A and B are shown apart, each in its own frame.
Chain A
Amino acid sequence: MLRFILRRIVGLFFVMIGVSVITFFLAQVVPVDPALVALGQNAREAQITAYRHEMGLDRPAVVQYISYVSHLVQGDLGKSIRTRRAVALDLRDFFPATLELSFAALVVSICLGIPLGMLAALRRNSLTDALARLVALVGGSMPIFYVGLLLLGLFYRQLRWLPGPGRLDATIHPPTAITGLYVLDSLLTGNWPVLQNSFAHLILPSLTLGIFSTAVLLRMTRSAVLEVLQQDYVRTAHAKGLRAELVIWRHVLKNAMTPVLTTIGITFGSLLSGAVLTETIFNWPGLGRYATTSVTSLDFPAVMGVTLVAAVLYPLVNMLVDISYHLIDPRVRTN
């Protein structure tokens, strides 16, 4: 187990190097000067030269890369060309919002997708099954921006049941930062008004972001359960005279969870990276919006920072999934 984790971590290291090389040299191919983007058309030549020098853009690409990597090894992500701040500081400001949103969306999709998928499989071809499949079809095919606008239009602008875009009402101050996740922080500090407000703000965006993964999880659960139901050991269990509930909980669901777990892992990765649209619609100050602005202003240290965060998170989540296989499935352990 330990060797397995170590191997994964070493792998992660190579992934990071690969990602940084690719991102860095892609940025060099773009025929645009980040200094021009940052300073605009009114800038004098002298200013542009000074800016390029300050940001180290006047050095050859290879030198820039080596200096970048040598800083990176020391945990320094460099300085953003656009905001002129340490990228790590920017990420600290923007990443928690994305993490909170993705977690919430994952909770939504697990709580809706898995139970619905189970029900649909167990009552195959019933009305419940048809409804669940309809949910999966609609959820899987509706564009995120449409769902988001629809939910906002209905619950915020028309009914006024839920607050609008943003993580908090404008007049409410964020809770003392511990994790940067408002719901968690306000819970930890016992700040109830902020907890209520941040929770209410989280509902619509997490539903919007979670609806697609709900559909994926629902389908996955349904087909996995159906497949296990056909297995010999299920028939044997029934033949032994085991009560139906026990067969389902003990034999069917547990075995069906392995592919579902894989899907959860993949889904979480895509939630993190797919939050851009949801963040835009809900004015959610997350990494997606930071990345978009950074890309359009060719702020390569910032883009690298975002890419590296994603490059670390994705394998990390997959590693966690792999570890959980070990825990729930003895067959993986013996292999």
Chain B
Amino acid sequence: MQQKNRLWHYLRLPVVSLVLFSLVLTACVAPAAPATGSTNTTAEATAAPVAAGEAASREDTLIFAADLTDLISLDPAVAYEFGGIQAEGSFYETLVSFDAGDPEIKPLLAESWDVKDSGDLWTLTFKLNPKATFASGKPVTAEDVVYSWSRAIDLNKSPAFLLIDVGQVTKENLKAVDAQTFEVKLPKAVSPQVFLSVISFTIAAVVEKAVVEANKGDDMGSTWLNDNSAGSGPYVLDKWDRSVGITLKANENYWGTPPLMKQVIMQNTSELANLQAAIETGDADIVQDLGAEQAATLKDNPDVDLVVGQSTSLTYIGMNATKAPLDNVDVREAIRYAINYDDIISLLKGSAQLVQEIIPIGFLGHTGNNPFKQDITKAKELLAKAGVAEGTEIEFIVPVGTAAGGIEWSTLAAKIQNDVEQIGLKLNIKQVQQSELLKIYRAQEGQMVFINWGPDFPDPDGNVTPFANYEAKSLAWRNAWNSPDAIALSKQAAAEQDPAKRTELYKQLTELVQHTGPYVLLYQPTRTFGVRKNITGFTYDAVDTPSISFWLIGKK
């Protein structure tokens, strides 16, 4: 008896722990069983009683999965990254906006506006929509607009240059004429056209003065606005879980057409395989930025549609116009004729479109004209004319990692190296971190660099000034390309009010940069979305802020 007890004494710990472990194992398989049903059919999930901790049913929830790693702020005066702008664009509204797929400015908080030439300044007067209210129920007033813009200027974070530098807005030139009338004065150097595009962006979004002031803390409410919203948009911020994603809740007081979904969850998913799995299983309703491989697999999936959206960025090669042999315009042209563009586009497997001009597809002034096709004989003639010796070496600086369109920078660079070798130039590829490349490039020290550019605001000027105007100290400057003609044309086009004349000016400028400029423009990447078949109203328009209008998306 005694011995039996002692045996139990020594055995009980392992025995008990084994029993516990197996209990735990059974317990964890058991709750998984009902999960099977709910992932298969959404109807079943909603029929089940709403579990504690579940805010809205799955049927009333839109789940949008994307890589949101770049998310750092939900304050419209601070955020300048995709994730932040996409979320904020649903919380806050701007005076004017774009409709998806239409490059014409439309009213939003402002029901009308007019532009007056008042001598040495432009005067823009906006009449606010009297129906517009904040989520709190209070009306949106001109005072709120003045406050929001002044706040953005005072905070002076990443996107503030759009108001300060591009719009040259000063706080003194903002005025609330009456509750419904807002007035801003701009210097003559600023094009009112460009300015209207600029203020469709979240930096010019209107926050509710009383609410932000009440929570301003020591940073004008920036920290508070990361966890709360104070806007007039169709959704309000429910919760930002830094490690997981953002939950948006329908604004019950919304003054416009109410949003279709009660809740939108923006989920941070960075792995391509996880995005694919999420859309296949229906765990997500929309996934953003599928790779070519995932898109190919999902093509025949009966539950998923693939939607290709146009980005606004351009992938190009910059050639420093002061570094021999690239200082010779014929050598730059020869390189443009040496490249086999068709091969590059096919390498990108449908995730990019050929664009050989500085204004991207979707913008006013895009010509759709691609004059370059590989022509080795012509390229060699140009090189001979320039007197460049066979085997001349050029340093080609290439970023590490993946280029827009989902292909390694190095793969594209090797292809270009191979093409250019055929005309007798030797490219020495040097791979560096993108940030290191930028440091070299910004110091005008790159001989030839491979990089991507996205405009700061949805107007052709957002690309033309950086690419063509040396004085802007942007891309033309980085490539040391100082062309008085290009500078004059870019200024003239930005200021032109008549769209037809403006288009004509951009056409001239496009051709000038195409043949004499320091760039080889290669492609405009596209982004592929996976969308469940039961989702309605999804569109992606990079020109519009936000690019995806969550409030128009519903479920069948």
Residues on A lying within 8 angstroms of B by beta carbon are 31-33, 36-37, 39-47, 50, 82-84, 90, 93-94, 97, 111, 115, 149, 152, 156-157, 160-167, 169-175, 191-194, 196-197, 199-200, 202-203, 243, 245-246, 249-250, 280-281, 283, 285-286, 289-290, 293, 298
Within 8 A of A (CB), among B1-59: 3, 6-7, 10-11, 14, 17-18, 21, 27-29, 31-33, 35-36, 39-40, 51-58
Known: A173-B55, A193-B53, A203-B28. A160 touches B36 (CB 8 A): yes
- Kindly state whether residue B283 has any CB partner on chain A within 8 Å: yes
B274 engages A283 (CB within 8 Å)? yes
Indicate if B473 sits at the interface (CB-CB under 8 A). yes
Q: In whole angstroms, what is the CA distance A175 to B56 when docked?
A: 16
* Cβ-based interface call for B280 (8 A): yes
Provided the pairs A281-B271, A293-B69 are in contact, do residues A50 and B156 lie with their beta carbons within 8 angstroms?
yes
**A171 to B14 Cα, complex, angstroms:** 39
| Structural contact, B243 and A162, CB atoms closer than 8 A | no
A-B contact pairs, 6 of them (CB 8 A): A44-B161, A163-B35, A164-B278, A171-B61, A199-B27, A243-B7
Residue pair A42, B456 in contact (C-beta under 8 Å): yes
**Cα distance A196–B274 in the bound complex, in angstroms:** 22
The residue in A36, A41, A93, A194 that gathers the most chain B C-beta atoms within 10 A of its C-beta is A41
The closest CB in chain B to the CB of A92 belongs to B242
Residue among B18, B243, B277 making CB contact with A164, cutoff 8 Å? B277
Task: Please tell me if B428 contacts chain A, counting CB pairs below 8 Å.
Answer: no
A44 to B441, CA, bound (A): 14
- B73 an interface residue at 8 Å Cβ cutoff? yes
In chain A, what residue has the closest Cβ to B35? A163
Within the complex, the shortest CB–CB distance from B469 to chain A, in Å, comes to 14
Query: In whole Å, how far is A164's beta carbon from the nearest beta carbon of chain B?
Result: 6
CB distance from B440 to the nearest CB of A (A): 10
Q: How far is the CA of A47 from the CA of B36 in the complex (A)?
A: 51
Q: B269 in the interface, Cβ–Cβ < 8 Å?
A: yes
Q: Given A33-B439, A41-B453, check contact A167 B244 (CB 8 Å).
A: yes
Q: With contacts A156-B281, A286-B243 known, what are 18 further pairs, Cβ within 8 A?
A: A36-B438, A50-B156, A111-B17, A160-B281, A161-B29, A161-B33, A162-B32, A163-B39, A165-B274, A170-B265, A170-B284, A171-B55, A171-B263, A173-B53, A173-B55, A193-B54, A246-B7, A281-B271
Bound together, the chains give a CA A281 to CA B271 distance in angstroms of 7
Interface size of B as a range = 35 or more
A-B contact count (CB 8 A): 163
The answer to whether B242 touches A193, judged by C-beta atoms less than 8 angstroms apart, is no
Q: Is B102 part of the binding interface, using a Cβ–Cβ cutoff of 8 Å?
A: no
Q: Are B52 and A285 in contact (CB under 8 A)?
A: no
Q: Which residues does chain B contribute within 8 Å of A249, judged by CB atoms?
A: 10-11, 14
Q: Which of B3, B239, B433 has the largest number of chain A CB atoms within 10 A?
A: B433
User: In the complex the two chains form, what is the Cα distance from A33 to B435 in whole Å?
Assistant: 7
A246 to B11 alpha-carbon distance, docked (Å): 9
> Is B436's CB within 8 Å of the partner chain A?
yes
Picked from A44, A94, A171, A193, the residue with its CB within 8 Å of the CB of B265 is A171
Residues of A within 8 A of B32 (CB): 161-163, 200, 203
B442 CB contacts on chain A under 8 angstroms: 36, 41
Complex: A283 Cα to B269 Cα, angstroms? 6
Chain B residues contacting A83 (CB-CB under 8 Å) are 72, 242
Residues in B lying within 8 Å of A, measured CB to CB: 3, 6-7, 10-11, 14, 17-18, 21, 27-29, 31-33, 35-36, 39-40, 51-58, 61, 63, 69, 72-73, 156, 158, 161, 165, 239, 241-245, 263, 265, 267-271, 273-274, 277-278, 280-281, 283-284, 433, 435-436, 438-439, 441-442, 451, 453-454, 456, 466, 473-474
- Expressed in whole angstroms, the Cα–Cα distance for A47 and B278 within the complex equals 39
Closest residue of A by beta carbon distance from B453 = A41
Q: Inside 8 A of A36's CB, which chain B residues have their CB?
A: 435, 438-439, 442
Closest 9 CB pairs of A and B: A285-B243, A196-B31, A193-B51, A249-B10, A37-B435, A93-B242, A160-B36, A32-B435, A111-B21
Q: Check if B53 sits within 8 Å of A191, measured CB to CB.
A: yes
Q: With A and B bound together, what is the CA distance between A261 and B57 in angstroms?
A: 47
B436 touches A162 (CB 8 A): no
Instruction: List chain A residues, Cβ under 8 A from B281.
Output: 156-157, 160, 164
Candidates B31, B244, B283; contact of A200 at CB < 8 Å: B31
Q: Is the CB of B10 within 8 A of A161?
A: no
Known contacts A42-B454, A42-B456, A249-B10; is-contact A164 B274 (Cβ 8 Å):
yes
Say how far A166's CB is from chain B's closest CB, in angstroms: 7
CA distance A284 to B72 in the complex (A): 19
Question: Nearest chain A CB to B109's CB is how many angstroms away?
Answer: 27
Contact A245 B7 (CB under 8 A): yes
Q: Are A285 and B51 in contact (CB under 8 A)?
A: no
Q: Give the Cβ gap from A174 to chain B, nearest Cβ, in Å.
A: 7
CA–CA, A246 and B271, complex, Å: 52
Given contacts A170-B63, A243-B7, is CB(A32)–CB(B156) below 8 Å? no
Say yes or no: A45-B156 contact (C-beta < 8 A), given A157-B280, A174-B241.
no
Residue numbers in A under 8 Å from B436 (CB-CB): 31-32
A164 to B284, CA, bound (A): 11
Chain A positions within 8 Å of B277 at CB level: 152, 156-157, 164-165
With both chains docked as a complex, state the minimum distance between the C-beta of B402 and any C-beta of chain A, in angstroms: 13
Which of B29, B435, B466 has the most chain A CB within a 10 Å cutoff?
Answer: B435
Q: CA of A203 to CA of B35 in the docked complex: distance in angstroms?
A: 14
In the complex, the chain B residue whose C-beta lies closest to that of A280 is B271
A residues less than 8 Å from B244 (CB atoms): 166-167, 285
> B51 → chain A, closest Cβ, in Å?
4
A163 cross-chain contacts in B, Cβ below 8 A: 32, 35, 39
Chain A residues positioned under 8 Å from B439 (CB to CB): 31-33, 36
Cα distance, A82 to B35, chains bound together (Å): 37
Partner among B52, B72, B73, B456 whose Cβ is within 8 Å of the Cβ of A191? B52
- Are A47 and B243 in contact, CB atoms less than 8 angstroms apart? no
Closest Cβ of chain B to A234, distance in Å, is 15
Question: Roughly how many angstroms separate A39 CA and B157 CA in the complex, as a whole number?
Answer: 10
A175 CA / B35 CA spacing, docked (Å): 19
Q: Say which residue of A32, A44, A199 sits within 8 Å of B28 (CB atoms).
A: A199
Chain B residues with CB under 8 Å of A152's CB are 277
Provided the pairs A111-B17, A160-B281, A199-B27 are in contact, do residues A90 and B35 lie with their beta carbons within 8 angstroms? no
Q: Are B267's CB and A170's CB within 8 A?
A: yes
Residues of B within 8 A of A50 (CB): 156
From A84, A166, A202, A290, B73 is in contact (CB under 8 Å) with A84
Q: Which of A33, A162, A164, A194 contacts B53 (CB 8 A)?
A: A194
